[in-house]
Structure 1
Amino acid sequence: MRYAALPALILAAGLAGCVTGSPDGRVQTSTEAKRETMTGAVSAPLRDLNVLRTKIPDVLLQAMADPYARPPNTRCNTLIALVQPLDEALGADLDVPQTTEDDLLSRETAYGAVASVTSDAIPFRGWVRKLTGAERHDEYVQAAITAGGVRRAYLKGLGESKGCKPPATPSHVKAGTPVVTQGFKPKFPTRKTP
């Protein structure tokens, strides 16, 4: 009986250095990982024990340090080079239309149910997450995602003010408005003086 937990300990020790993310490379919190893939749902207890952790890319750590840091220059090529790593870490921005699948909701529900069953294997799960640091790490991951989103929005705002093309500016596809291109000069009404 004393050795019954030995295989689980060996597995946990082997996975201790593992880091996780979504299949497309996007950073995820534990909650997102549990809902989006079967692997994430099954690995929920390892995330709760803080054995599996989400690695935060450097681009998001830099965004956490100063999301409004001025870029070295505001040329469109520079802004594109700064936005693309954020897109890779965060996934599609809000201005990009999402392709929806009919069974997306049912898959998330099924993965959530699997994650619930696997997580229930840990008694006092909430306390375990607190004691192992898993909850604190998830909060840190969420803060990094938020900072990355703010950084991307800031850079896209700079790009739009310079008349850059996407991805250095919002696409406006969802809003149905045209994309502003370089050379665009807005015409402001002038006041007539008497």
Structure 2
Amino acid sequence: MTSKFCVMVGAALLLATSAAQAQVKPPAKPTEPGGRWGQTKEKAAEIGTQPVRDVGLSKREIPPILEKAYNDTYSVKGLRTCVALANEIKALNAVLGPDYQVGNEYSENRAGKLAEAGGKAVVNSIIPFRGLVRELTGAAPNDRHMNAVVDAGLARRGFLRGVHLKQGCKTKF
């Protein structure tokens, strides 16, 4: 890589991190440890490591709870008690993030999203014929599988919340 290119990538990532921090309205509660700064660093790292994943040198690890959800989304085996249901929902929340809550106000960080899109555009332009490379290296099928297990995890969490409600459970998750 040329030094000019490295400077461009570094500037894009710096722009993404600084603009994402400049939210007009902070969220009511941080959704992740480290708050907004932790989320910004995580997003910048994800963008920066995308080319490595594209060529198949790195894969995202799939949490076992999501593989379990993918393999048997609507099973209640071993989840007869309210505590067991709540623990399973907590485990899913830990990997999926917080669940949808009625009444939460939606706010978007437009500057952060623009910076993120710019950073992705710069980083993703590194690999010519990126789509073909991703298919050949197995990165695209891995991403499709990751999307499928996340979808299954979301479906399982919703299902378990329904079972929890139906059983009249009062345990918190």
TM-score, normalised to structure 1, is 0.63
1:61 matched to which residue of 2?
A: 67
Can you give the 5+ residue segments of structure 2 that lack an aligned partner in the other structure?
Answer: 3-30, 34-38
1:79 aligns to 2:85 (yes or no): yes
Alignment of 1:37-116 (within 5 A): 37-95=43-101, 104-116=109-121
Report the CA distance between 1:145 and its aligned residue: 0.2
Percent sequence identity over aligned pairs? 30
Work out the CA distance in 2 between the residues paired with 1:45 and 1:96.
38
Report the CA distance between 1:106 and its aligned residue: 1.7
2:160 matched to which residue of 1?
A: 155
Work out the CA distance in 1 between the residues paired with 2:137 and 2:128.
14
Q: Note the aligned Cα RMSD (angstroms).
A: 2.8
2:21 matched to which residue of 1?
A: none
The structure with the largest helix share of the pair is 2
Report the CA distance between 1:54 and its aligned residue: 1.4
Aligned 8 A contact 1:59 1:85 in 2: yes
What SS does the aligned partner of 2:56 have? coil
Aligned 8 A contact 1:74 1:158 in 2: no
What SS does the aligned partner of 1:142 have? helix
Work out the CA distance in 2 between the residues paired with 1:96 and 1:54.
31
Aligned 8 A contact 2:74 2:156 in 1: yes
Work out the CA distance in 1 between the residues paired with 2:72 and 2:61.
19
Structure number with the bigger relative contact order (C-alpha 8 A, sep ≥ 6) is: 2
1:165-194, Cα deviation, whole Å (9 max, x unpaired): 3645xxxxxxxxxxxxxxxxxxxxxxxxxx
1:52-75, Cα deviation, whole Å (9 max, x unpaired): 321110001011111011232432
What SS does the aligned partner of 2:136 have? helix
1:29 matched to which residue of 2?
A: none
Can you give the 5+ residue segments of structure 1 that lack an aligned partner in the other structure?
Answer: 6-22, 26-32, 169-194
TM-score, normalised to structure 2, is 0.70
Work out the CA distance in 2 between the residues paired with 1:153 and 1:38.
30
**CA 1:53 to 1:110, structure 2 compared with 1: closer, same or farther past 3 Å?**
same
Work out the CA distance in 2 between the residues paired with 1:163 and 1:79.
12
Per mean C-alpha deviation after superposition, the further-off stretch among 72-81 and 153-162 is 72-81
